[in-house]
Amino acid sequence: MVAPQTSSKPAGVAQCDAATLADISAGLLAPQASTSPKYFYDSLGSHLFEAICELPEYYPTRTEAAIFAQHGADMARHIGADATLVDLGAGNCAKAASLFPLLQPRQYVPVDISSDFLQQAVSQLRQRFPAIMITPLVADLSQPLVLPPSVPLARRQFFYPGSSIGNFTPHEAIAFLRQVRENVGVDGGLLIGVDLVKDPAVLDAAYDDAIGVTAAFNLNLLRHLNYLAGANFEPAQWRHVAFFNDAESRIEMHLEARCALSVQWQGGERSFAQGERIHTENSYKYTVAGFTRLLADAGFRVDGTWTDDAHWFAVMHAAA
């Protein structure tokens, strides 16, 4: 039997800017506590996400890869060679790199929030593809997207694979895609991966795998918050919860307090009752028709849709 904690560790010093601290604070203090999924991705979080992509339960990555393998040449015909490929949330850049032989971009602009991870990936990529100009950009995709002058306006093709669009609410997704649309110019486009509605049992398993990698990914958020906000979360006091919310058509991930506890951080504190949760992620699932409408609302015209045989995932190309 573990003795109940009577005194908690002191909170540390915040390692971030005032805006990040204010964002984390506001989320934790809301009646339904929540945090942005962007805080999953410190270096360990990015590596844990890579591990998730290897899990048998996590179908999106390999299903999307199979769609690219089967239809990549057709996609390349829609896009044309010598484009500037802007990869939103590039991570390890592996998906884009696997398409380089077909797409033959002139320039590659990987954008990611995790700076260390991006730099590492880019130095490897430069050795493998010396002919492609690589212009990495560290940016938070929840903020307005501004590309530097080193990225020409002509022939911009945005690449947003992996169904990360699902982290936005449909309303936010339209706003985000409108912004992409404004950055595309007249002769560009968007190649985007979308996770589709399916049997909830398949969805639940994909976000609550048997060996607990997704649980570790979710719990790692607490370690990252300790670093970012000088908080004193103890991951062992929290449980991973994930389920499909049918009414909202989304997977929800939460962290649930295993016992009554309190947490301090720079400039704030909160008590959580046993069973109280922090909502850490939404992952919306769409139908092809629904997402086509969403792209149209953002000012795009869908000119290609590719799916797997089971219709678990779709890759769509939209033109300006």
Q: Please report, as ranges, the residues that interact with ligand AVJ according to CB under 6 A.
A: 52, 60, 162-164, 166-167, 207, 214, 217, 281, 283
Whose Cβ is closer to ligand AVJ: residue 163's or residue 232's? 163
CB contact at 8 A, 60 and 313: yes
First to last CA, the chain: 62
Whose Cβ is closer to ligand AVJ: residue 23's or residue 64's? 64
Q: How far is the CB of 267 from ligand AVJ (least distance, A)?
A: 29
Q: How far is the CB of 133 from ligand AVJ (least distance, A)?
A: 27
Q: How far is the CB of 155 from ligand AVJ (least distance, A)?
A: 27
* Closest chain position to ligand AVJ (CB): 283
Whose Cβ is closer to ligand AVJ: residue 11's or residue 194's? 194
Residue 257's φ and ψ, nearest 5 degrees, are: -65, 125
DSSP bridge pairs for 251: 244, 283
The maximal CA–CA distance of the chain, rounded, in angstroms, is: 66
Cβ contacts of 257 within 8 Å, gap of 6 or more = 237, 238, 239, 272, 273, 274, 275, 276, 277
Q: How far is the CB of 62 from ligand AVJ (least distance, A)?
A: 13
Please report the DSSP string for 265-281 in residue order. Answer: ETTEEEEE-TT-EEEEE
Cβ contacts of 44 within 8 Å, gap of 6 or more = 220, 223
Whose Cβ is closer to ligand AVJ: residue 83's or residue 88's? 88
Q: How far is the CB of 33 from ligand AVJ (least distance, A)?
A: 18
Whose Cβ is closer to ligand AVJ: residue 244's or residue 300's? 244
Q: How far is the CB of 251 from ligand AVJ (least distance, A)?
A: 7
Look at residues 218, 284, 271 and name the one whose alpha carbon lies nearest to residue 35.
Answer: 218
Whose Cβ is closer to ligand AVJ: residue 205's or residue 261's? 205
- Residue 310: alpha-carbon gap to chain centroid: 23
DSSP 8-state code for residue 10: P
33 vs 266: CA distance, rounded Å: 17
Look at residues 241, 211, 209, 237 and name the one whose alpha carbon lies nearest to residue 222.
Answer: 237
Q: How far is the CB of 42 from ligand AVJ (least distance, A)?
A: 14
Whose Cβ is closer to ligand AVJ: residue 21's or residue 221's? 221
Q: How far is the CB of 166 from ligand AVJ (least distance, A)?
A: 5
What is the dihedral sign for C-alpha 216, 249, 68, 154? negative
DSSP β-ladder status, 250-257 and 238-245: antiparallel
Whose Cβ is closer to ligand AVJ: residue 58's or residue 265's? 58
